Amino acid sequence: MPNVAFINGAFVPLADAKVSIEDRGFQFGDGVYEVIRTYKGCPFSIEAHLARLDRSAAALDLTQPYSRAEWTGHILEGVKRAAYPEAKIYLQITRGVAPRDHAYSDDATPTVVMTVREFHPLDRSVQATGVEAMTTEDIRWGRCDIKSVNLLANVLARQQVKQARVFEAILVNSGLVTEGAVSNVMVVQGGTVVTAPEGPRILSGVTRAIVLDLALSEGVSTQERFVSQSDLYTADEVFLTGTTVEVLAVIRVDGKVIGDGRPGPITQRLAASFASRVG
Ligand code: PDD
């Protein structure tokens, strides 16, 4: 089964999908992206991802070349061509090709690419036991709500994760937990799920919003406010949310055991209701 690539309106073999060395995405990280996964071959929460792509593009004054209906058509076509049991769909829009100059001209034609690759969901045993995380300083810029391809700080954080042999980096800005390097972070304190508020310090995760809704429908109270790094260590439960991680318990942070070192009851309830939602 092929990895599928789509570039500026055409499906091509991945190896033939090329962009210019003067693309502003390559030279400046001047672009935005989305990651969507399928469940049983169906792209999950496509509307919410495309809405966020619109918001990210608008925030960078980037022309969104396709309507949501057009994007949906391309995505479904890509998923059909790839024919994987489960797929990870990557969409990217950059400002296009121009002689290098930081300022851009209004008439640049965006470069649009999509890849559809096989997605391997996390092993159920990882879900069952939970994962270990580390904290690291959040050195990102002041508009983390824009899903920009400028991911240097996230790249460095994920490299630390790899070297430390843990699962995720939890980012801390001035002593406050913002989010993970590729996920949102939630903690449970006295039965309430607490997560950083939407705004410039975090990416407003599609999974985050779904999980906050599920919590309410499960009768679990939620609060959107920052918690401190020390609150993280003493939380009853900590979990991650995201397209690739779903709802995933964190059982140790910086070597410190969270709760009793096993996925807590609220995390398990939310993971189960997320699983039935996607099912
Ligand atoms: N990242 N926060 C950050 C910094 C992220 O990069 C992501 C997802 C999330 C979770 O958002 P969502 O629930 O919408 O997937 C939060 C994707 C998967 C990535 O960059 O590969």
- Give, using CA atoms, the residue closest to atom 1 of ligand 1: 182
Q: What is the pLDDT of residue 1?
A: 58
- Give, using CA atoms, the residue closest to atom 9 of ligand 1: 183
Our answer on whether the CB atom of 203 is closer than 6 Å to any ligand 1 atom is yes
Average pLDDT, the chain: 97
Residue 77 token pair: 């076509």
Our answer on whether the CB atom of 192 is closer than 6 Å to any ligand 1 atom is no
What would the DSSP string read from start to end of 89-147?
EEEEEE--B-SS-SS--TTPPPEEEEEEEE--PPPHHHHHH-EEEEEEE----S-TTS-
- Give, using CA atoms, the residue closest to atom 8 of ligand 1: 182
Our answer on whether the CB atom of 184 is closer than 6 Å to any ligand 1 atom is yes
Our answer on whether the CB atom of 182 is closer than 6 Å to any ligand 1 atom is yes
Residues 6+ apart with CB under 8 A from 2: 13, 14, 81, 82
Q: What is the pLDDT of residues 145-175, one digit of tens each?
A: 999 999 999 999 999 999 999 999 999 999 9
Which of 46, 184, 239 to mutate to test ligand 1, by most ligand atoms within 8 A of the CB atom?
184
Residue 108 has pLDDT above 90, yes or no: no
Q: What is the pLDDT of residue 73?
A: 98
Is the torsion defined by CA of 277, 188, 148, 16 positive or negative?
negative
277 C-alpha to center of ligand 1: Å?
19
- Give, using CA atoms, the residue closest to atom 4 of ligand 1: 182
pTM recorded for the entire structure? 0.97
The closest-lying atom of ligand 1 relative to the alpha carbon of residue 184 is 16
216 C-alpha to center of ligand 1: Å?
22
Q: Mind telling me the catalytic residues?
A: 147
- Give, using CA atoms, the residue closest to atom 20 of ligand 1: 182
Distances from the Cα of 35 to the Cα of 163, 191, 223, 257, angstroms:
25, 31, 26, 31
What's the rounded mean pLDDT across residues 169-183?
A: 98
What's the rounded mean pLDDT across residues 197-216?
A: 98
Our answer on whether the CB atom of 56 is closer than 6 Å to any ligand 1 atom is no
Q: What is the pLDDT of residues 218-276, one digit of tens each?
A: 999 999 999 999 999 999 999 999 999 999 999 999 999 999 999 999 999 999 999 99
Residue in 174, 185, 165, 183 with CA at minimum distance from that of residue 232: 185
What's the rounded mean pLDDT across residues 38-44?
A: 96
Residue 144 has pLDDT above 90, yes or no: yes
Our answer on whether the CB atom of 183 is closer than 6 Å to any ligand 1 atom is yes
Residue 3 has pLDDT above 90, yes or no: no
Helix (H, G, I), strand (E, B) or coil at 265: helix
Q: What is the pLDDT of residue 279?
A: 83
Q: What is the pLDDT of residue 106?
A: 85
207 C-alpha to center of ligand 1: Å?
9
